[in-house]
Amino acid sequence: MRFLCFGFLFFYFNPFICQELQKKDLLFEQEFSKSFNSKPKLDVKFDNRFSFIRDNTLKTVGVKVGLNFRRKFKVGLGINQMLVPIETTTTNISGEEVPVDLEYFYFSPYLEYVFHNSKRWEFSLSTQLGFGSANYRFTNFEGKKIQLQKSTVLSYEPAMLIDYKIVRWVGIGTGVGYRLVYYKESVIKEQFSSPEYVIKLKVYLGEIVRTITGKEFKID
């Protein structure tokens, strides 16, 4: 305990450390101000997010469209859909257990901060909010899908991402994060909160337009 207290006091009162932290804070503020005062480029990417429900892998596919400010900050909106429904059971009005498919869909406004970039590599911290719904559906004797229960699902997903530009127009990426669901009605019994990993494909539309037209594609 004494060692921890001493370490804390040294860290807190050491002028050199405090000065370095102030420089980093100032640098971040300068990057933030300079980035959002510049003309952004279009940012488009497709991603797969893998998380877990019970013994099943929950795979969501999504497309994100946003704005890229000086390769430092990215903001936009994503649309995400569970790729393959998960087979489970629920209780119907008669109190009987029936087999159903769990489906999940959500919108995700996102923000990314790129803390390191080079000609091909990009390291970033990402956060996105999920606004969507989950529902149980079963197939009746006529082959029609009928919805039984439905719930609004609100989530928060922080992640650390790594992108690699393969060629001038296309890149790939990966990352790890966590899906934290902070609102879901009890009619949907599955727990969506889970660690997750990300695989994505990036399309550099600005580079494609510049290659074809010879002009820089920016948003006025």
> What pLDDT tens digit does each residue of the chain (220 aa) get?
443 344 434 434 445 445 544 555 556 667 777 777 788 888 888 988 988 877 677 889 999 999 999 888 999 999 999 988 888 888 776 777 888 999 999 999 999 999 888 889 999 999 999 999 999 998 877 778 888 889 999 999 999 999 999 988 899 999 999 999 999 998 998 889 999 999 988 888 777 777 787 666 555 5
Q: For position 8, what pLDDT does the model report?
A: 39
Question: Domain extents for the chain?
Answer: 1-37, 40-213
Q: Are 203 and 44 in contact (CB under 8 A)?
A: yes
Q: Among all chains, which residue has been given the structure tokens 């393959």? A: 84
Pick one of 2.60.120.10, 1.10.3720.10, 2.40.160.20, 1.20.1290.10 as the CATH number of 40-213: 2.40.160.20
Q: Give the number of other CB atoms < 10 A from CB of residue 195.
A: 11
b/e 61-91 (16+ beta carbons within 10 angstroms → b): ebebebbbbbebbbebebebebeeebebebe
Q: For position 153, what pLDDT does the model report?
A: 97
- How far is the CA of 140 from the CAs of 96, 144, 146, 150, 178, in angstroms? 15, 6, 7, 18, 36
